[in-house]
Amino acid sequence: MRPLEQQTILITGATDGLGRALAHELAAQGATLIVHGRSRTKGEKLLAELRGIAGDGKVTYLAADFTRLADVHRMAEQVLALDRLDVLVNNAGVGMLQREETADGCETTFQVNYLAGYVLAARLAPLLAASAPARIVNVSSYGQAPIDFDDPMMTHGYDGIYAYCQAKLAQILHAFDLAEALDGRGVTANAVHPAPYMPTKMVVGMFTPQSTIDQGMRNTLRVVADPALDGVSGRWFNQREDARAQAQAYDAGARSRLRALSEELTGVPFLEGLPA
């Protein structure tokens, strides 16, 4: 990879928690940043913070509500207008105690945590390949549950924790699928569990924090920027360990079913527009 001061990096879910910490660190190291969030108010605050570190021309904020795929597409169009993109960090996520559906008719956790990142990777792959060497990093979790392909939207017997763990495993299958499809194009794809129970909005009030956001940020930063990982692809890192994910991640049939499901739910072909 190029030195960070020569890279343009997109971080989704950057207004809070891990994403915000990662943005601050990358700004301090000189990267050009595209930071995403849902709230324009939080976005303006984040922009002021990051521009105080990196300067006015180094940071752009894109507002998009990932419960609306139209917003994800609009954001992808804005990024595609840029000259280059070196790293896509799919970090945005939610956890839902009660089942909700998005404007697109999908279960909210599955869409925000997985499908939005699927669409961004598919649409931005040509730009990433043109900017190679480049990386896609899916911020996943140690908490993983097999995808129920008979009821992936969990219309029956909804469980918020299972929904979260299912979506996080989908991110890992997605990273493995991307790694295989992008092999030889100079674009790597990996997934990382940053740290256990960081004190984020999803954790505080439900679980006892076991690590710091800085720990999670450092482990994510490694997958984003460490030169030692140049060319390393198709891995799931449990913090800093090259680890083994839940068994379904290694099932080619399951990855194929997830790919087909994702295309059906979003209307976006896998790696849309990538030259043969």
Q: What is the CATH number of the domain that holds 221?
A: 3.40.50.720
For the full predicted model, state whether its pTM sits above 0.85.
yes
Which pLDDT score is estimated for 276? 66
Which pLDDT score is estimated for 272? 74
Residue 272 CB neighbour total at 10 angstroms: 17
Alpha-carbon span 161 to 148, nearest angstrom? 14
Q: Which residues of the chain have pLDDT under 50?
A: 204
Which pLDDT score is estimated for 42? 93
Please check whether residue 276 lies inside any domain of the structure. no
Exposure of 247 by Cβ count < 10 A (0-12 exposed, 13-18 middle, 19+ buried)?
exposed
Which pLDDT score is estimated for 56? 73
Please check whether residue 55 lies inside any domain of the structure. yes
Which pLDDT score is estimated for 201? 59
Which pLDDT score is estimated for 200? 62
Q: Residue 52 contacts by C-beta under 8 Å, 6 or more apart in sequence? A: none
Please check whether residue 275 lies inside any domain of the structure. no
Q: For the chain, how many structural domains are there in total? A: 1
Please check whether residue 225 lies inside any domain of the structure. yes
Question: Residue with structure tokens 């960090």?
Answer: 89
Please check whether residue 58 lies inside any domain of the structure. yes
Which pLDDT score is estimated for 95? 86
Residue whose C-alpha is closest to residue 198's, from 8, 16, 13:
16
Contact 109, 117 (CB under 8 A): no
Residue whose C-alpha is closest to residue 139's, from 216, 26, 47, 247:
216
Please check whether residue 273 lies inside any domain of the structure. no
Which pLDDT score is estimated for 32? 96
Alpha-carbon span 169 to 167, nearest angstrom? 5
- For the sheet containing 241-243, what is the strand order? 59-63, 32-37, 8-11, 87-90, 134-139, 187-193, 236-238, 241-243
Q: Residue 268 contacts by C-beta under 8 Å, 6 or more apart in sequence? A: 118, 119, 122, 123, 262
Contact 50, 27 (CB under 8 A): yes
Please check whether residue 272 lies inside any domain of the structure. no
Phi and psi torsions of 44, nearest 5°: -65, -40
pLDDT tens for residues 94-134? 988 899 999 999 999 999 999 999 999 999 999 999 999 99
Domain hosting residue 64, numbered range: 4-266
Which pLDDT score is estimated for 143? 93
Please check whether residue 52 lies inside any domain of the structure. yes
